[in-house]
Amino acid sequence: MSFSNPLHIGHFARDGKDIRFALDPTTHLLTPVSTRPLDSASVIRALRSIGQLRDDSTDNFPKNWCIWSDGDWLTCDRYHLSSSAIMFIVHLMKETECDLLEARSYSTISINDLQKFDD
């Protein structure tokens, strides 16, 4: 059996402290409401800062990272994050002040909590 726990990395609308979700008309799933797309130049800088830039494409992540572009945000699988993927997300969160959202619990994850995933 394989488990997946999607994490979304992006700029999301809030209702107070909580991330706002809306029903996706295509998938009929609750998805976070994006306020703006992640800046591709910031993604490239974060990749470059940890030595993982293969070309100037924001969709060209190492396969073992399990990170992919998902419209205005990036999505990854919590249970398959490598140390370098965690470093990338930390750099991106610091540079862009974006959110890291755990899809199953509808809650955000701080940089400090993300870094504990690597322990």
Q: Does residue 1 form part of some domain? A: no
Count: domains in the chain: 1
pLDDT in tens, 49-102: 888 776 655 557 888 888 998 889 999 988 888 899 999 999 999 999 999 999
Q: Which domain holds residue 66?
A: 6-116
Task: Establish if 26 belongs to a structural domain.
Answer: yes
Q: Number of H helices and number of E strands within the chain?
A: 3, 10
Distance CA 111, CA 22 (A): 25
* 59 in any annotated domain: yes
Q: What pLDDT, on the 0 to 100 scale, is given for residue 56?
A: 58
Handedness of CA 52, 56, 62, 66 (dihedral sign): positive
Instruction: State the pLDDT at residue 1.
Output: 44
pTM over 0.85? The answer is: yes
